[in-house]
Amino acid sequence: MPGLMLLASNNGSGRIAPERADLRQDMSRDTFASILEWIMREPPEEEPGICFVDPRWDDEFAWMAKRARDSSIKASVLTNTATNDALASAEQLKGLGVEWRIDVTRASRGQGFLEQLLPVLGNDALLVIELPAQQIAREWLADMICEYGLRRKLAVALHSALSGKHEHLSEKDYSAVAETVLELARFSSRFDISLEYGCGIPWCMFTSEQLGELWRLNSEFFSQCDSDLIVTHDGQISYCPLLCDFCTKTYADYPSYHKAKEWFERHLANYRLLGTTCECISCDLNSLGPCRGGCLGQALATAKNL
């Protein structure tokens, strides 16, 4: 789903680095409306979306979610459900088709609160788990999904790019994490739950046999590093929270979202050659397609002369 990730009006309790106080500032309604119009100026083939990251559950958020829906842009939230207001907001927004991506790894209010919230959300909710995770019982995840009719998907995040910190999975941990993913996929498939994957992992984390098994389990792995552009309260856009210091533009510099995304892809393409593993630079999967060499933020974090 092409779109933007909104890093504004953040409640400051979630994944976003706490030191980024600027991300808690509000975006004006005018700027928000202008950005929606900017996205739709060249409507993408797939349904466009805007994702609110750990929003404050206030009237402004509700207004923005409704305004997005009215502009034919799908609204979603990525949340750790840090405050009780999330429950009221879930009630208020019911029926608007807002997708709630709930980070259960960082759900600071605990399982009890989720067990209140998830029945309200039902099929609007998709659970997100970060690996390697602290102990989260997979049986509990499957129970929640089945009992409350949540999306039969589990989003697996293997990096914490959204935090804006370089908390990368180390190459030496790849094989152990790959096996953990496989076990989760095998377990989940018994409940007709499939896995989807976050960005930043190269294909070579998995062996061919493991990739085949994931495919058979209906949890096919795709190596991605092409998240939605991010936008901050003042209309600054970047490719990813990890690349804010490397390259930031203003949305109004481009005639449309589509053109901005194209520009970032073109500008960053050759940097991808650096890759995240020793093999990336000469790997056809990276240079010709589908791998992209893992997380670009990780690749550039140790590069020189940037």
Strand order across the beta sheet in which 74-79 lies: 194-197, 153-157, 125-130, 99-103, 74-79, 49-53, 3-7, 229-232, 236-238, 248-250
Q: Which is nearer to another protein, 85 or 226 (CB)?
A: 226
Burial 75-99 (b: 16+ CB within 10 A, else e): bbbbbbbbbebbbebbebbeeeebb
Of 208 and 302, nearer to another protein (C-beta) is 302
**Residue among 146 and 281 whose Cβ is closer to another protein:** 281
Contact 300, 274 (CB under 8 A): yes
CB of 195 to another protein, least distance (A): 30
Complex with another protein: residue 176 or 269, whichever CB lies closer: 269
Nearest-approach distance from CB 152 to another protein, in angstroms: 40
Q: Work out how close the CB of 270 gets to another protein at its nearest, in angstroms, rounded to a whole number.
A: 4
The neighbouring-strand residues paired with 237 are 231, 249
Nearest residue (CB) to another protein, 19 versus 284 = 284
Buried b (16+ CB within 10 A) or exposed e, 246-285: bbebebeebebbbebbebbeeebeebbebbbbeebeebeb
Question: Distance of CA 9 to CAs 97, 161, 210, Å?
Answer: 21, 19, 41
Shortest gap between Cβ of 297 and another protein (angstroms)?
Answer: 13
CB of 287 to another protein, least distance (A): 8
Q: Which is nearer to another protein, 231 or 300 (CB)?
A: 300
Residues that bind another protein (CB under 8 A): 269-271, 273-274, 277-278, 281-282, 299, 302-306
Q: How far is the CB of 298 from another protein (least distance, A)?
A: 11
Alpha carbons 52 and 75: distance in angstroms, whole number: 8
Side chain identity, residue 28 = S
Asked if residue 23 lies in contact with residue 232, where contact means CB atoms within 8 angstroms, the answer is yes
| 238, 244, 248, 252 alpha-carbon torsion, rounded to 10° | 40
CB 142 within 8 A of CB 187: yes
User: Least distance from C-beta 59 to another protein, angstroms?
Assistant: 45
In this complex, which beta carbon is closest to another protein, that of residue 60 or of residue 171?
A: 171
